[in-house]
Amino acid sequence: MNRDEVLQQIMDSGALPTLSNVASKLIEITGREDTTIYEITQLIAQDVSLSAKVLKVVNSAFYNFPNEVRSIQQAVAILGTNAVRSLVLSFSFLSMEKKRREKGFNYQRFWEQSLATAVAAKLLVGEVETSIDPEEVFTVSLLVNIGVLILAQAFPGRYDVLLQQADCGSDRLIALEEKELGIDHAYVGSRAARRWQFPETLVLPILYHHNPEDYAGDDAELAREIRIVYLADLIANILYSARPIDFADRFCKEAKRLLKLSGSAVDGILENVSAEVASAADYFGMKIEGTPSIPEILQKANIELSLLNMSYEQMNRELVAAKLELERLNAELQEKNAYLEGIANLDGLTGVYNHRYFQEHLDRELNRTIRGGHPLSLVMIDLDNFKKINDFYGHQAGDFVLREACALWREQVRDYDLLARYGGEEFVLVLPETDAEQALAVAEKLRAATAAHFFGNRGERYEVTASFGVSVFDPADREMDKNRLIEQADGALYEAKKKGRNRVELYTPKKGGWLKRLKA
């Protein structure tokens, strides 16, 4: 539905409040130029209770007249037609039936905040050089959010949710109303005022009270009245919203910008408005529980904000500490995982890689070799006459020789070469991107280093040599695979053993399959 259709639905729902007969008739007759004081007096006098209320306010500190006003005729003569009309309208709205609901929209709170807006507007008028009628500003400010009341009655339950989402701040309510209902309370309130036949000086401040600069008319005094109503609404939100500090900051800035109010004037209004609201409530027969002053409200809000910030800071410190602890635990876990992975892949005696890891690694390297088109060499190593060392010196001596040999060989190879224990005293060396000539050179370097090394432990010296079998994987040979590569290296090692040990043999298909290349 468009805005006009929503408005018609609201009007048809019976949500529009009804003015008293006296108030309705008073608006009508005061709109005529020929209306006399006698007609106004006679109209108000029809309602004895209303007359008594008007005289009570006229004789209160709300006006602070030096002499007692004894009759409505005298009140009209002293105050003027507009002021009396404003009083009657104020009483008419404040005496509307206040519905009670267990939850949701709080009608009593609504009228308390409306009265606070009206009192704040009157205080603002007193700080500005203007011909604006303070009673008229009081009345329009009292009714400025009447659209909220109408929407609450038209959309019960649904509108309560919007109020909760707005966080008790009327500035945020407009956008929510437009989004969810297709209409906002400022527009609804202004259309209701027109329906009650209010003059434009009362209608337009209701329409523009959230955005005073949207008023594009050329009436300077009306523009100023709209600004006053806007600022008064900000003050009421300091008293009744959940965000008093935000509204206080906004009011101080806007009061200086829109009305050129001094800092002392702003401070004075904020200090006195709560007491003035309490007095006005008494004048108009409203019961308001003790409301703290705005300085007290702001002080409490600042304390709560400080405590909240402290909580956030503490929470942040705890989160940082938890994050650091988590990072420490994660690093420790990674270290332990690396250790566990390492010991799972390593031979427990020698510290070189185990047979399982060698098989997995060789698969990966062969795949990389095939993709890259470069050679890979495999060297099988066997310690010569190792059984004699175990039998003559004992297994501890044999274990020492195995560890010492592995430590020696690791020093001779590249970081990316893989040395692994194949089983018993047999070891295997994977040499990526290495051709036959380079592999033979590596194997010979290891053979020579082994033969020259001093294997001594606990006063004993062991003569240790090793035999080496080399095979080369050619990626262009489609019949070559991992098993054949290992078989060829093992066969070359067997040939080295058969031909005297302490030597290097390269597998080659020439001359019966073996070619002795290097010997001791």
Tokens of 407: 């430590």
CATH superfamily to which 99-291 belongs: Hypothetical protein af1432 (1.10.3210.10)
- DSSP letters along 63-96, please? T--SS---SHHHHHHHH-HHHHHHHHHHHHHHTS
How far the first Cα of the chain sits from its last, in Å, is 102
- The angle formed by the CA atoms of residues 111, 114 and 119, to the nearest 5 degrees, is 125
pLDDT digits (tens, 9 = 90+) for 420-461: 999 999 999 999 999 999 999 999 999 999 999 999 988 889
In terms of DSSP bridges, do strands 455-457 and 426-432 run parallel, antiparallel, or are they unpaired?
Answer: unpaired
The residue that leads in pLDDT, 328 or 369, is: 369
> Per-residue pLDDT for 54 more than 50?
yes
> Which CATH number is correct for 355-518, 3.20.20.370, 3.40.220.10, 3.30.429.10, 3.30.70.270?
3.30.70.270
- Please, what is the average pLDDT of the chain? 86
Please tell me whether residue 130 adopts helix, strand or coil conformation: coil
In this prediction, residue 112 has a pLDDT band, given cuts at 50, 70 and 90, of confident
Domains in the chain: boundaries: 18-95, 99-291, 298-345, 355-518
pLDDT digits (tens, 9 = 90+) for 191-225: 988 988 888 888 999 999 989 999 999 999 999 99
Q: Describe the chain by its helix, strand, coil percentages, rounded to 5.
A: 65, 10, 25
Tokens of 430: 């994977």
Active site residue: 112, 127, 365, 425, which one? 425
- d(CA 73, CA 30) in angstroms, rounded, equals 15
Residue 425 annotated as catalytic? yes
* Residue linked to tokens 């209004």: 269
Tokens of 267: 């401070």
Tokens of 60: 């209160």
Phi and psi dihedrals of 471, rounded to 5?
A: -135, 155
- d(CA 266, CA 434) in angstroms, rounded, equals 88
Taking alpha carbons only, the member of 16, 14, 4, 15 closest to residue 195 is 16
Tokens of 248: 């206080």
Of 6-10, 340-344, 439-443, 457-461, give the lowest mean pLDDT range.
340-344
- d(CA 488, CA 24) in angstroms, rounded, equals 114
- d(CA 167, CA 15) in angstroms, rounded, equals 24
CB-based contact 277:291 (threshold 8 Å): yes
Edge-first strand listing for the sheet containing 418-423? 418-423, 426-432, 376-383, 466-473, 504-507, 514-518
- d(CA 481, CA 475) in angstroms, rounded, equals 9
Look at the pTM and tell me if it is higher than 0.85.
Answer: no
Tokens of 175: 């956008």
